[in-house]
A and B are shown apart, each in its own frame.
Chain A
């Protein structure tokens, strides 16, 4: 049924990949006693003053996990914006916003919502609504990136 209405959807890969993401967050919680929030871990992997070796190990391993699947799974399908302006503008706002809002899709979306945190549910509704409005606004303005 899903394939009929949404020809591009990958429900099975989505569920399997999603379960692996949940397992990853579970390993971080139960193993290390912390939240696998990628924006926070990335900040603590890079910015001086809050540097944390385990955060850096997580970040490097994240790249490694994707590399392994790409290597043994015959690549990963990706289409990026055709103009760097979208990458630079998007990256700046994502960096600032995730620090101001204390989290992103992993920390608030996966870890917080599964804990039924009202704070994380509010954050997730906020970034999803803003993302949807942004895509709609860009289309209205003729800013299609491919």
Chain B
């Protein structure tokens, strides 16, 4: 796999997170706080991202291979099971507790290193714990 597209994608993703306000845990929590001082910014971010990405899927359908020449490696499973729902709910609980999901947490290593590294290290520990307990491979 080529190195150019992952680097370009990462740079754009980090810039988008920083511009959108989604690197601010207080603002993200404001979106989740529907009975408090609700902040709808996250809905605009999601809307903008979905619009562009929906177009990308339309283009992808007409392509045989990706631009770097590899075959598309996309999730094929349609299974809606306990792992999906319970795992996502767990993620939501952590998201609500700290106001951080993986992207903004990692991007924050650039701007607020100490709280970001505490969260990211804990996140890595959670992933490692999953692998040794419920991981399938």
Q: Which residues of A contact B (CB under 8 A)?
A: 2, 6, 8-11, 13-36, 38-39, 42-43, 46-47, 49, 53-55, 57-70, 73, 75-81, 84, 86-106, 108-115, 117-119, 122-124, 126-136, 138-139, 146
Contacts and interface: CB of A to CB of B under 8 A. Distances in A.
B66 A31 contact: yes
A80 B98 CA distance: 8
Contact of B41 (A10, A34, A70, A117): A10
6 contacts: A16-B48, A24-B11, A66-B111, A100-B83, A122-B84, A122-B88
Contacts of B115: 80-81, 84, 87
Contact of A95 (B35, B43, B108, B123): B123
Given A73-B19, A76-B18, A130-B91, A104 B12 contact: no
Contact of B45 (A15, A23, A67, A130): A15
Contacts of A30: 56, 59-60, 63, 66-67
Give 3 nearest A-B pairs by CB, closest first: A95-B126, A17-B20, A65-B14
A45 to B, nearest CB: 9
Contact of B12 (A20, A33, A43): A20
A108 B89 CA distance: 13
Nearest to A43: B127
B13 A24 contact: yes
A94 B94 CA distance: 5
B20 to A, nearest CB: 2
Contacts of A136: 33-35
A23 B32 contact: no
By size class, the interface of chain B is: 35 or more
B90 A93 contact: yes
Contact of A110 (B23, B50, B93, B107): B50
Given A87-B98, A119-B78, A111 B6 contact: no
A115 B57 contact: yes
B18 A73 contact: yes
Interface in B50-106: 50-57, 59-60, 63, 65-68, 70-75, 77-80, 83-103, 105-106
B95 A26 contact: no
B52 A6 contact: no
Nearest to A39: B102
B3 A57 contact: yes
B15 A93 contact: no
Contacts of B112: 78, 80
A67 B23 CA distance: 12
